[in-house]
Amino acid sequence: MITVLVLLCALLGLVVGSFLNVVIHRVPLGESVVKPRSRCPGCGSEISPRDNVPVVSWILLKGKCRTCAEPISTRYPAVEILTALVFSAMALRFGYDWVLPAFLYLGAVGVALALIDLDVKRLPDALTLPSYGVGAVLLGVASVANGEPGVMIRAGLGALALFVFYFILLVVYPAGMGFGDVKLAGVLGLYLAYLGWGSLVVGGFFGFLLGAVVGGGLMLIRRAGRKTMIPFGPFMLAGALLAIFVGQPLADAYVKSLGA
């Protein structure tokens, strides 16, 4: 039965990914994600529903606008496929659990925030701030449905802890990150602490580890210097994603090794 859930989440991810393409393009511009309908940037023609089927339409159109043959970036199907993969992974991780919708939401908003940060080096409040409320509601429903309402206390403390930690880093070294990273930290802390303190610690560590590895690699191949601004949001989100799957087991194994 889990296979059915994974496939359904993958299909949902493709659809959500198509919408995320709109979000990623319009939110940084302060535009509505609802209207007007998507149009070709080349000829301005409205994209018909048959040309808006995730991945399939791009393949059938051979990556070009039906009207003017303007190339359609491979990023559009890539975002759709990435979202489908994230949704499938979440389905495998949580299965038929009440908490799955909460983590599907985190996966969707995480994809959008990561790509926006890469594009404009900014994490829009329009996506980050509502995630506190949405995450609290979805996780709260799951905690009650699973008979563990007390876990939300840990989740709230985790959100506060990671927010304060990043805020201190911002104050100590403001060139290292922006306040958008601080606000995102609170959201990630909420989700990771829901899973456990170990997930929270590992997720935070992984974010810095990935940032250091990628940043060091870019410097090594001379694609970046010490003063190059590298968006940190994608590393925070990638670290959190890894922690969702392996964070608590890694933390438990480490604590066990200390007592051995």
pLDDT digits (tens, 9 = 90+) for 185-222: 999 999 999 999 999 999 999 999 998 898 888 778 77
Tokens 């899973």 correspond to what residue?
A: 195
- Asked if residue 159 and residue 38 are part of one domain, the reply reads no
Percent of the chain beyond pLDDT 90? 69
Q: What is the pLDDT of residue 198?
A: 94
Tell me, yes or no, whether 84 and 209 share the same domain: no
pTM: 0.93
User: 174 preceded by cis ω (within 30°)?
Assistant: no
Chain-centroid distance of CA 76 in Å reads: 16
- Residue 64: phi, psi to the nearest 5? -135, 150
Q: What percent of the chain has pLDDT over 70?
A: 97
Contact indicator for 54, 80 with CB cutoff of 8 Å: yes
Domain identity same for 140 and 242: yes
How much is the pLDDT for 224? 67
Q: Which of 81, 96, 111 is the last residue in one of the domains?
A: 96
Considering the domain architecture, whether residues 120 and 79 belong to the same structural domain is answered as: no
Select from 66, 81, 96 the last residue of a domain: 96
Query: pLDDT of 54-90, one tens digit each?
Result: 999 889 888 888 888 888 899 999 999 999 999 999 9
* Same domain for 247 and 120: yes
- Whether 150 and 160 map to the same domain: the answer is yes
Specify the pLDDT at position 62.
85
Domain boundary among 36, 66, 96: 96
Per residue in 171-190, pLDDT (tens digit) is 998 877 899 999 999 999 99
Same domain, 150 and 203: yes
pLDDT at position 227 is: 66
- Asked if residue 138 and residue 227 are part of one domain, the reply reads yes
Could you list the residue range(s) of the whole structural domain that residue 8 is in? 1-96
At 260, the pLDDT band (50, 70, 90 cuts) reads low
Mark whether 90 and 118 lie in a shared domain: no
Q: Tally the domains of the chain.
A: 2
Query: For residues 183, 187, 189 and 192, what is the CA-based torsion angle, rounded to 10 degrees?
Result: -150
Residue 121 has pLDDT above 90, yes or no: yes
Do 84 and 204 lie in a common domain? Answer: no
- Which amino acid makes up residue 151? V
Q: Say if residue 68 is in the same domain as residue 150.
A: no
Query: Measured between alpha carbons, how far is 6 from 12 in angstroms, rounded to an integer?
Result: 10
Q: What local confidence, expressed as pLDDT, does residue 1 receive?
A: 80
Q: What pLDDT does residue 78 have? A: 96
Residues 88 and 106 occupy one common structural domain: no
